[in-house]
A = this chain, B = another copy of it.
Amino acid sequence: MYYSQTARLAVYAEGEFGKGHSKTAEGVIRYARNPVVAVIDSEQKGKTVRDVVGLDCQAPIVGSVSESLRFKPDALLLGTAWTGGRLPGAWRKDILTAIKSGLDIINGLHDFLGDDDEIARCAAEHDRRLLDVRRPPAELPVASGKAAGVSALTVLTVGSDCSVGKMTTSLELTYAAERAGRKARFIATGQTGIMIVGDGIAIDRVIGDFMAGATEQMVIAHGYDNDYVFVEGQGSIVHPGFSGVTLALLHGAAPEAMILCHKAAKTRIGELPFPITPLPALVALYEEMAAYVRPARVLGISINTAGLSDGEARHAVSAAEKECGLPATDPVRFGADDLLNALEEFRAMRGRTP
């Protein structure tokens, strides 16, 4: 566990809360056990979290780190990130202020605060902790396909693109499985997931040769004493920048089942001139690539319908269902039960009962 799940968090999302790059902030607010006591974004100051992102959270939005202090946070959690995950220069002053005010810093960027001379010195002087959640373990293995041997049903979320709901779908399935009486484990492979559940490895921060090995190690660690292991996927197998991370996760996790995640109405990969691959082609592609290590089936589709009306959302889900011939849902809006039912059926079919 990298940090106490009772610590009070101030979530830093300066200039970005509720916009395209605050998915870490929103994921933590939605799912972490830690109380979020304030969100920092001077552009949205005075509003509530509920106002801006519609999440069930009473935290106020304040204009600065100093203003957040009256809500008694224990740590400042950096809640926004851009492609590449570098530390923006403008954050430095706010991070130093937070440390001097007695806060630990929780950081999910590629740039580690512990390696930054000025910030590390400041933290040492004020006896504060710098939690670089993306820092991988020092020793990792090369994968050999042996995650295929676990007794749990390993379920990997895969996607049409980045930021389409893979972490969210894996978390919602974990909770749905637990509600149904199953022993289920969420395996965090990205910074937000790690912040939410308190451990994991950010696979996109691992050295190429060990990405699949890091994934394999986590699946094996949890795959023998759970009914389900839900592995958070990353990127997309057709994304020009991140496809290598995605394939390493697929071959390292060696899932038996996959859930394909897509964001409704998205037509291009990231902001690049590459079209979203049609969902049925993605189903076939992920199954084809998985099979070189272990045969796996896509058993359902998760459609992120954020921003759509209920009617539009229902239409998007049923279009995906028809197009792929698989159960589909938006697990946040409509619940994950349809997907869990498909997994339960598959589990029974594979002789794993109850």
Residues of A participating in the B interface, judged by any CB pair closer than 8 Å: 83-85, 110, 141-145, 203-213, 237-249, 251-252, 254, 272-274, 277, 285, 288, 292-293
Q: How far is the CA of A277 from the CA of B293 in the complex (A)?
A: 11
Instruction: Please give the distance in Å from A162's CB to the nearest CB on chain B.
Output: 10
Known: A84-B142, A141-B84, A144-B272. A208 touches B292 (CB 8 A): no
- Give the contacting residue for A244; candidates B85, B239, B251, B254; CB below 8 A: B251
Known: A274-B292, A277-B292, A292-B277. A241 touches B144 (CB 8 A): yes
Q: Do residues A208 and B208 form an inter-chain contact, with CB atoms below 8 A?
A: yes
Known: A240-B144, A241-B213. A206 touches B207 (CB 8 A): yes
Q: How far is the CA of A83 from the CA of B272 in the complex (A)?
A: 35
Residues of B within 8 A of A144 (CB): 240-241, 272
Copies in the complex: 2
Q: How far is the CA of A253 from the CA of B243 in the complex (A)?
A: 13
- Give the contacting residue for A208; candidates B84, B143, B238, B245; CB below 8 A: B245
Q: How far is the CA of A227 from the CA of B206 in the complex (A)?
A: 35
Q: How far is the CA of A213 from the CA of B241 in the complex (A)?
A: 7
Q: How far is the CA of A45 from the CA of B174 in the complex (A)?
A: 60
Instruction: Please give the distance in Å from A292's CB to the nearest CB on chain B.
Output: 4
Q: How far is the CA of A84 from the CA of B110 in the complex (A)?
A: 23
Q: Do residues B142 and A244 form an inter-chain contact, with CB atoms below 8 A?
A: no
Q: Do residues A85 and B209 form an inter-chain contact, with CB atoms below 8 A?
A: yes
- Give the contacting residue for A207; candidates B110, B237, B240, B241; CB below 8 A: B110
16 intermolecular pairs with C-beta atoms under 8 Å apart: A83-B142, A84-B141, A84-B142, A204-B207, A204-B208, A205-B209, A207-B207, A212-B244, A237-B292, A239-B251, A240-B251, A240-B292, A240-B293, A243-B247, A243-B292, A285-B288
Q: List 9 tightest A-B contacts by C-beta distance, closest first.
A: A244-B248, A145-B240, A238-B292, A244-B244, A142-B241, A143-B241, A208-B245, A204-B209, A204-B208
Residues of B within 8 A of A277 (CB): 292
Q: How far is the CA of A161 from the CA of B125 in the complex (A)?
A: 51
